[in-house]
Amino acid sequence: MLDFDGIRNYWDTRASGDSSAQSTTQDVYLREIEYRVLAERVGRLRPARVADVGCGDGRTTLRLAAGCPDLAFEGYDYAASMIDNARASGTAPSVANVRFAQRDIMDGLPERFDLVYTTRCLINLPSWDMQMAALRHIHAGLADGGTYLMVENFQEGHDNFNAVRRAYGLPEIAVRPHNFFFQRPRLIDFMAPLFALREELNISSTYYLTSRVIYARICADQGATPDYFDDHHRLAAGLPFAGEFGPVRLLVFEKKAPEAGR
């Protein structure tokens, strides 16, 4: 796997000269699912100040901010080219309540927020030690009682869908060299003194079974290359969530009061 600088360079290079919808992920319909679950919870919780850590080109930040004009959003990313792209598309008057800044989460958050979210950001830290440090920074950057919406990939769900792929005669999909997935048991243990876990959902299981197993098998049978824009992806993104056969989970954490957390 790549080291920290290699991963940062990967993201900076990836966004340079690419302001398309696929500059932060090829899987645009997975991002639709993520947007949906975030929008529902942000809309319900109404946090005054929101931080998107690892906002990439700001697509999700901008959509959420446009839908909640009375809330203030800050988008942070360590890749300068991502922030350039986010700012270029963030000038519309309808999203005046969002600002973007280049910032590495390993340097902490500059102020306190009522809600912080990450969507597939912390999996780009190459070790559990670094991931724990980032989670401590998120905790410190939240007001007491504030919410952390964690949308990140987990090894267990990844292994589960690969087992189904094997059963369908498909090769396993490897974790990419710039990613290091969470392991649920140790994450839950680490977070327990800091946060109360309010909700947990595998948001990628039905989507992965449809896109990475059924559609992948159809493509293999037809000798076709899978296409992220295929209707199987589009339609799978609307399915209800069920099962544990995909890597991406939503965990809703509420920051504990200091006396309860120490």
Ligand X SMILES: C[S@@+](CC[C@H](N)C(=O)[O-])C[C@H]1O[C@@H](n2cnc3c(N)ncnc32)[C@H](O)[C@@H]1O
- 249 by DSSP, 3-state: which? strand
Strands of 195-202's sheet in order across: 98-102, 72-77, 49-53, 113-119, 142-153, 248-255, 195-202
Best CA proximity match to 82, nearest among 140, 166, 8: 8
Question: Which C-beta is closer to ligand X: that of 71 or that of 256?
Answer: 71
- The piece of 43-51, 75-83, 158-166, 243-251 that touches ligand X (CB under 6 A) is 75-83
Query: Is there binding between residue 82 and ligand X (CB under 6 A)?
Result: yes
Q: Which of 48, 92, 96, 106 binds ligand X (CB under 6 A)?
A: 106
Q: What angle do CA 141, 146, 149 make, to 5 degrees?
A: 85
The CB density around residue 149, as the number of other CB atoms within 10 Å, is: 24
> Considering the rule CB under 6 A, would residue 77 count as an interface residue with ligand X?
yes
Structure tokens at 228: 């992220």
Which of 38, 47, 50, 60 contacts ligand X by CB under 6 A? 60
Q: For residues 198-237, which are near ligand X according to CB under 6 A?
A: none
Residues 115-154 that bind ligand X (CB under 6 A): 119-121, 124
For the bound state, the minimum distance from the C-beta of residue 190 to ligand X, rounded and expressed in Å, comes to 18
Positions touching ligand X (CB under 6 A) are 11, 24-25, 31, 54-56, 59-60, 76-79, 82, 104-106, 119-121, 124
